[in-house]
Chains A and B, each alone.
Chain A
Amino acid sequence: MAARMTDAVALAAAVPANLGAAPAAMETRALNAYFGSTHAVRDVSLTFPENEVTAIIGPSGCGKSTLLRCLNRMHETVPLARVEGTVLFHGRNIYGAGVDPIALRRHVGMVFQRPTPFPTMSIRDNVAAGLRVQLGERLDRRQVDEVVERALRQAALWDEVKDRLKASATGISGGQQQRLCIARALATAPHVLLLDEPTASLDPLSTQKVEELVYELRSSMTVIIVTHNMQQAARVSDRTVFMLSGEMVEAAPTRAVFTTPSDPRTEAYITGRFG
């Protein structure tokens, strides 16, 4: 048993992040993020392999959400926030000259901690919102309907709302609203989906649905999920990144992180000694 454990460590160590089976969907190099004088993300270099689920875990305030928000350039929308370093999206630096953050965000979708349906729109229009802003009026009604149905099915919400697509999006439950937001992000078929503690405000049953969804999504896209729930990271992710005080402590296949962490701080965190 001990020997096998050691093998796993050796295996995890032998496969560097950028030599995994899948090519990188996103990669950060010496990424630093600040809020005014607060240094929230410190020198993080990471690879997010394509069609895998990467979980970012760590105690509150460790910079995991900030790191996530650097990946679709949402960090810079906050006053006084700034970013240094490189983030590659399919090999291209998204902080390079001539990159339009709005265009980037259309390929890198994001879902937040709390459900944020647009209250003035119907369920259908919520799902179609991203589509409409990206493609303008070029889509006809039938095309929109098809995309809306596909996205809602993907988000496991279709059966619950198919009879009230024109009803207000604020009239459904919190768990349904969150899955609606996921459907809204999926409708535009992003390459990467960023989930910022997507189940933090949900009940266990809704959480389970979202987790199943995340697990299934990796066949069609790369998912990066921030969570402070370690069990969740263990359940849904292929790789896990552990962060502490803005630094990336460990990034490895999830099984390795949870069974044989290479850094004592990771071990201390996942065994519940702090955080």
Chain B
Amino acid sequence: MTAVGLPTAAVPRRRARGLARRRGTSVVMVALTCAAAALAIVPLVAILAYLLKQGAGALSLEFFTNMPRPVGEAGGGMANAIVGTLILIGIASAVGLPIGIGAGLYLAERGGTKLANLVRFLADVLNGLPSIVMGIFAWQFLVRPIGHFSALAGGAAIGAMMIPLVTRTTEEMVRTVPQSLREAALALGYPRWRTSLQIVLRTALGGIVTGVLVAVARVAGETAPLLFTAFGNQFWSTQVTQPIAALPLQVFVYAISPYDEWHAQAWAGALVLIALVLVISVLARFAVRSRHGRAND
């Protein structure tokens, strides 16, 4: 019977051994990747947990509504720094988003030219620029000529940091839009610029927003470029031509102070900073989703 090739006992046993070994390898590899994934989350969870533990105590409604108070006085808050950070993010976005998205669109739609290669290279260099250097640069060209620190200078400094981030994400996202979509628009009588703006950019919008949010989150916590541009302000100010308070600056000042209540406030400030970025992200995503779903004219 064996002559006609019916399976002998040895063959299944060998197969079973091979299968067991493969299964074993699989289990080990899955476990290893699981462990790596868990390890990657550990710092994030640890930071969040520790922030909550340390900062939640000093967090109250007053923290959002009150101004900083001198040491010893209870109930101080960071209202000016929260508003200041929002204003700085606004200025930075006004500077960084149009330039970044425009440059990214250019790189993706006209990618082959020498100028495009140069821009792409410069964006990468800019991306690697230490933020303190950006601060010095803004100080030299915005603070010194004007004569004093200002929210504008601070916003411009961190806005400039957003540019390369936004440029490269926009480029990547616009590249994912299929060429057939551009051709379809051109064949309908769309001029090139309207094809790029109304068809290509809109199609890539979801991905671009994600990139923008990463950029906002990154610069919202920047301290170094603000030290000698926005400078910080112990008082209420929403004037963009004046020095302005910012959460990271306030956290920095309080954290290096010798007072326990200020330390607690610094933790609370850090917590609020993270929450702020989170809220902006959720809002922006929500806005994009509702816009995509809407059948608009």
Contact = CB atoms under 8 A, between A and B. Distances in A.
B187 A72 contact: yes
A109 to B, nearest CB: 7
A77 B191 CA distance: 11
Interface string B215-253: 000000000000000000000000000000000000000
Contacts of A119: 181, 203
A147 interface: no
Interface in B92-113: 112
A103 B189 CA distance: 6
B296 A112 contact: no
B199 interface: yes
Contacts of B202: 118, 120
B188 A185 contact: yes
Interface residues of A, number: 34
Contacts of B73: none
A61 B181 CA distance: 22
B190 interface: yes
A118 B203 contact: yes
A165 interface: yes
A83 interface: no
B199 A105 contact: no
A9 interface: no
Contacts of A106: 188-189
B184 interface: yes
A124 interface: yes
Contacts of B17: none
Contacts of B199: 118, 120
B203 A120 contact: yes
Nearest to B293: A168
Given A112-B180, A112-B183, A133-B194, A120 B188 contact: no
A98 interface: no
A226 to B, nearest CB: 14
B295 A124 contact: yes
B203 A105 contact: no
B209 interface: no
Nearest to B190: A133
Interface of A: 72, 74, 77, 79, 102-103, 105-106, 109-110, 112, 114, 116, 118-122, 124-125, 129-130, 133-134, 141, 144, 165-168, 181, 184-185, 188
Interface of B: 112, 178, 180-181, 183-191, 194, 198-199, 202-203, 205, 292-293, 295-297
The 4 closest A-B pairs by CB, nearest first: A166-B295, A122-B295, A116-B184, A106-B189
Given A116-B178, A116-B184, A125-B297, 4 more contacts: A109-B187, A118-B203, A121-B295, A141-B297
5 contacts: A77-B183, A105-B187, A112-B187, A119-B203, A129-B185
